[in-house]
Amino acid sequence: MRNLFLFFWKNYFLFLFLLLESLCVYLLVQNNNFQRASFINSSSAVSANILSATHDVNQYFLLKDANEKLLKENAELRSKTKESFSLILNSHQTVSDTTFHQKYTYTSAKVVNNSTNMRNNYLTLDKGSNQGIKNNMAVITSSGVVGQVKDVSANFCTVMSLLNSKTTISSKIKKDGSYGPLMWDADDNFGTATLHDIPTHVRLITGDTVVTSAYSTTFPENIMVGTVESFVKKSGEFFYTVKVKLSTDFKKLSYVYIVENIMKDEQEELEKISEPDKKSK
Amino acid sequence: MVTTIIRNFIRFIILILVQVLIIKNIELGRFVNPFLYILFIIALPFETPKWLLLLSGFLLGITIDMFYNTMGMHAAATVFMAYIRPSILNLFSPREGYEFGTQPTIQYLGVPWFLSYSAILIVLHHFILFYLEVFRFSEFFPTLIRIIVSSVSTLVLVVLSQYLFQSKKEVE
């Protein structure tokens, strides 16, 4: 027993190293499992407050841009109000009063931390569970998709940016609806992403619009993603790999919207019930 | 002794603030990510106890992790760097050993010694950090390029900051 202690004492440097390193790896693996030790990320009080203070300073330099964007958006919204539409009577619209119900709600939030030059990028927003934010909600701006809420604390939340190797967004070519997963591959920079699995019979043109598809329970349909920049068909494959120029400028994010899908739980529960049937067939 | 501890503590805080508030916001493209904060471990005095070396490495890494949202990644790299530091110091030690009270800096041991010593530590740190971040083998070569370019940029910053501190040394 004494020899054992002596052995540990002599090599304490190595054992301390192994102990600390395995603690790091444990934290790292936990982090990948979506259940992060939420007390030591940037949602935590100390770092989030420092970041939000520096952001308040930086904010002044972006005010002009933000104002222009808000004006543009106001104009866009005004053009969508009831007053700016003339009523067209047809058989569907006359009974549509009670057939529409709200499916998505929007919360605006301020970006207090953002990165674009890592392989896995995250944002921090100044809204949290006190404001009704839950994980997996969609995050968008007026110009396009931003990402998905990952972790939530009382007053902050972190967002897995589209610029992240783990992000996948179901997207489609707007003009004919063929869809595929949009990912951020190793050769993409902060302005592009890659859309996979578009069948080759689709007649793609550079500049085609790419929007979110209806198959995701997170994102509303037809949110702008970007435009087609180039597309290739690798030999032996039946699909195009499409480079998409993102419409969101990730370097200039300052205000975003968090979107909640009210019927998400209902849909997912229903799909879960049907799943065992699929497997038994 | 006490002044050394205080000086290193202040350096710890300043380096973290510089890294998080300034360098993190400089966008040099996807390939270049300098991490100046590891200068803290490079510049610790020779007679630092080994356990303190590992613990300060861990603290440094976990603090940076909080700001970068990368739980454990920086900590793993800095702990490894702290672990390997004594061996690297032995590898490059002068024949009569290091003088007591000196620090591993350019002023005491010259440019060639400092360059080779810090370059090895920086490359090892970046190697672990970037491969932990990517966590897959399919992007081996793009990551290797990022490691090389980022290491060079970190090294440049580390050497530059050494010259900034040198003028202060002469005043003392």
Q: What is the reported pLDDT for B84? A: 93
A81/B148: higher pLDDT: B148
At residue A241, φ and ψ (nearest 5 deg) are -105, 120
Least confident of A201-205, B72-76, B77-81, B167-171: B167-171
Q: How far apart are CA A219 and CA A213, in angstroms?
A: 8
Give the mean model confidence (pLDDT) for residues B113-123: 92
Low-confidence stretches of chain A (pLDDT < 50) are 34-35, 37-39, 84-98, 281
Q: How far apart are CA B37 and CA B56, in angstroms?
A: 12
Distance from CA of A58 to the nearest CA of B (A): 11
Residue A194 resides in a domain: yes
Per-residue pLDDT at B147 exceeds 80: yes
Tell me which residues of chain B, numbers 15 to 74, contact chain A at a CB-CB cutoff of 8 Å: 20-21, 24, 27-30, 32-33, 50-51, 54-55, 57-58, 61-62, 65-73
Considering the domain architecture, whether residues A258 and A130 belong to the same structural domain is answered as: yes
Domain count, chain A: 2
A-chain CB neighbours of B86 within 8 Å are 13
Q: How far apart are CA B35 and CA B125, in angstroms?
A: 10
Q: How far apart are CA B9 and CA B3, in angstroms?
A: 10
| Size of the A and B interface in Cβ pairs below 8 Å | 103
Q: What is the reported pLDDT for A279? A: 53
- Check: complex ipTM more than 0.85: no
Q: What is the reported pLDDT for A94? A: 37
Pick among B54, B55, B71, B143 to test the A interface (most A CBs inside 10 A): B71
Cβ of B142 within 8 Å of Cβ of A187? The answer is: yes
Considering the domain architecture, whether residues A160 and A220 belong to the same structural domain is answered as: no
Considering the domain architecture, whether residues A113 and A219 belong to the same structural domain is answered as: no
Considering the domain architecture, whether residues A189 and A108 belong to the same structural domain is answered as: no
Considering the domain architecture, whether residues A114 and A57 belong to the same structural domain is answered as: yes
DSSP conformation class of B99: P
DSSP-derived 3-state class of residue A70 = helix
Distance from CA of B45 to the nearest CA of A (A): 17
Per-residue pLDDT at B77 exceeds 90: yes
Q: What is the reported pLDDT for A86? A: 43
Identify the CATH number of the domain in which residue A177 sits: 2.40.10.350
pLDDT band at B126 (very low <50, low <70, confident <90, very high): very high
Q: What is the reported pLDDT for A92? A: 34
User: Considering only CA atoms, which of A279, A240, A118 is closest in space to residue A189?
Assistant: A118
DSSP structure string for A15-45:
HHHHHHHHHHHHHHHHHHTT---GGGSTTSH
Considering the domain architecture, whether residues A69 and A126 belong to the same structural domain is answered as: yes
**Unique residue bearing structure tokens 């793009």:** B142
**Unique residue bearing structure tokens 């090892």:** B124
Tell me which residues of chain A, numbers 30 to 49, contact chain B at a CB-CB cutoff of 8 Å: 30-32, 36-37, 40-42, 44, 46-47
Identify the CATH number of the domain in which residue B68 sits: 1.10.1760
B36 touches B161 (CB < 8 A): yes
At residue B162, φ and ψ (nearest 5 deg) are -60, -45
Q: Which among B51, B76, B133 has CB closest to A25?
A: B76
* Strand A144-152, strand A138-141: pairing: antiparallel
A190 touches A171 (CB < 8 A): no
Percent of chain B at pLDDT > 70 equals: 95
Considering the domain architecture, whether residues A178 and A231 belong to the same structural domain is answered as: yes
At residue B60, φ and ψ (nearest 5 deg) are -60, -50
A172 touches A211 (CB < 8 A): yes
Residue A144 resides in a domain: yes
Q: Which among B61, B86, B133 has CB closest to A119?
A: B133
Considering the domain architecture, whether residues A132 and A210 belong to the same structural domain is answered as: no
Domain count, chain B: 1
**Unique residue bearing structure tokens 């890659």:** A194
Q: What is the reported pLDDT for B134? A: 79
How far is CA A180 from each of CA A168, A195, A198, A239, rounded to the nearest angstrom? 10, 6, 6, 10
Question: With a threshold of 0.90, does the pTM exceed it?
Answer: no
Distance from CA of A73 to the nearest CA of B (A): 28
Least confident of A212-216, A261-265, B82-86, B112-116: A261-265
Cβ of B142 within 8 Å of Cβ of A26? The answer is: no
Give the mean model confidence (pLDDT) for residues B129-153: 85
**A176: contact with B, CB 8 A cutoff:** no
The predicted-structure confidence for B7-57, as pLDDT tens digits, reads as follows 889 989 999 999 988 888 887 777 788 899 999 999 888 888 888 999 999
Residue A24 resides in a domain: no
A-chain CB neighbours of B83 within 8 Å are 13, 17, 21
Residue A92 resides in a domain: no
Structural domain harbouring B133: 2-171
Q: How far apart are CA A150 and CA A160, in angstroms?
A: 6
What does pLDDT average to over chain B? 85
Identify the CATH number of the domain in which residue A107 sits: 2.40.10.340
Distance from CA of B79 to the nearest CA of A (A): 7
**A252: contact with B, CB 8 A cutoff:** no
* Shortest CA distance from A32: residue in chain B: B71
Give the mean model confidence (pLDDT) for residues B73-77: 91
Residue A281 resides in a domain: no
For residue A151, give both structure tokens: 């972790």
Q: How far apart are CA A259 and CA A159, in angstroms?
A: 12
Residue A233 resides in a domain: yes
Distance from CA of A176 to the nearest CA of B (A): 33
Considering the domain architecture, whether residues A108 and A174 belong to the same structural domain is answered as: no
Per-residue pLDDT at B171 exceeds 50: no
Q: What is the reported pLDDT for A246? A: 93
Considering the domain architecture, whether residues A139 and A112 belong to the same structural domain is answered as: yes
Considering the domain architecture, whether residues A153 and A199 belong to the same structural domain is answered as: no
pLDDT band at B151 (very low <50, low <70, confident <90, very high): very high
Cβ of A16 within 8 Å of Cβ of B80? The answer is: no
Per-residue pLDDT at B159 exceeds 80: yes
Q: What is the reported pLDDT for A80? A: 67
Q: How far apart are CA A243 and CA A226, in angstroms?
A: 10
**A122: contact with B, CB 8 A cutoff:** yes
Residue A96 resides in a domain: no
Q: What is the reported pLDDT for A29? A: 77
Residue A273 resides in a domain: no
Q: How far apart are CA B2 and CA A272, in angstroms?
A: 63
Cβ of B72 within 8 Å of Cβ of A186? The answer is: no
At residue B19, φ and ψ (nearest 5 deg) are -65, -45
Q: How far apart are CA B90 and CA A259, in angstroms?
A: 57
Considering the domain architecture, whether residues A188 and A57 belong to the same structural domain is answered as: no
Structural domain harbouring A60: 41-79+101-164+254-262
**B131: contact with A, CB 8 A cutoff:** no
**A189: contact with B, CB 8 A cutoff:** yes
